[in-house]
Homo-oligomer: A and B are copies of this chain.
Amino acid sequence: MERPRSARHAVTSRTIEQHAVRLVLEHGFDAVTVDMICEASGISQRTFFNHFPTKIDAIVGAVGPRVDEAAVRRFLASDSDDILGDVLELVAHLAPGTSDDPALAAARWQLIGRTPALLQLEMDRMISVQRELVEILVLRLARHTAPGETAEQTRAQADLLSYLVAGIVRFSIEGGGPGREPGPLDLDRTREVLGQLLPKLRSEPTRG
């Protein structure tokens, strides 16, 4: 309470987040209104929206997933020909929301897997990561250019690959197949299924 001013904002945000997650875990996403969260947090509705642009943001967390700097450096430095494997390694370091409260993060994963609207949002946020990813992939793919390949072609490949990776991430988040529980990225499981699937796709596309 007698904290420095700059910290009070963060404290209030955390309070809101915690009550939001708790309420949604208890009553479900649709049954929880912003007013309920405000009352529980002891703030006005206007304050709520000063902290979070939308109700969803308060529940899932204000900051989206980020790629780990060190992982990027490792990825770019790798000599391996197994680009896909390296990409998986890179993507495995995505963290959902603010990771400074493990209990909150765990609760969020539950909610994300349970509520389509939230999974939705998490995927939206992946898109911003995806844009970063494209830039990184361009650098890596450029080391494998075919003769006569233009920079634009390389970029298109990186773009496509980033979409493929997004698909893999989603598969991973939704639990790696039907009947599985959603949760943070399960890299081993994903690699396993991918390792089974890829050989079946090995043959050249018709236009090679």
Contact in complex: A84, B195 (CB < 8 Å): no
For the complex formed, measure the closest distance between the CB of A152 and the CB atoms of chain B, giving whole angstroms.
7
A residues 155-208 with Cβ under 8 Å of B? 155-157, 159-161, 163-168, 170-171, 176-178, 188, 190-208
Q: Determine the chain B residues whose CB is within 8 A of the CB of A194 once the complex forms.
A: 160, 205
Q: Determine the chain B residues whose CB is within 8 A of the CB of A205 once the complex forms.
A: 82, 84-85, 88, 191, 194-195, 198
Q: Determine the chain B residues whose CB is within 8 A of the CB of A146 once the complex forms.
A: 196, 199
Q: Determine the chain B residues whose CB is within 8 A of the CB of A202 once the complex forms.
A: 81
Q: Determine the chain B residues whose CB is within 8 A of the CB of A157 once the complex forms.
A: 193, 196-197, 200
Q: Determine the chain B residues whose CB is within 8 A of the CB of A200 once the complex forms.
A: 83, 141, 144, 157
Contact in complex: B82, A204 (CB < 8 Å): yes
Contact in complex: A192, B167 (CB < 8 Å): no
A residues 91-113 with Cβ under 8 Å of B? none
Contact in complex: B177, A156 (CB < 8 Å): yes
A153 within 8 A of B: yes
Q: Determine the chain B residues whose CB is within 8 A of the CB of A170 once the complex forms.
A: 163, 166
Partner of A156, one of B88, B166, B193, B198: B193
A149 within 8 A of B: yes
A124 within 8 A of B: yes
For the complex formed, measure the closest distance between the CB of A35 and the CB atoms of chain B, giving whole angstroms.
23
Q: CB within 8 Å of B: which residues of A? A: 80-85, 88, 120, 124, 141, 144, 146, 149, 152-153, 155-157, 159-161, 163-168, 170-171, 176-178, 188, 190-208
The 5 A-B pairs of least Cβ separation, nearest first, read A156-B177, A167-B167, A163-B167, A157-B197, A81-B203
Given contacts A80-B203, A146-B199, 14 further A-B contacts (CB under 8 A): A82-B205, A83-B200, A84-B205, A85-B205, A141-B197, A141-B200, A156-B193, A156-B196, A159-B171, A163-B167, A164-B164, A191-B207, A195-B205, A195-B207
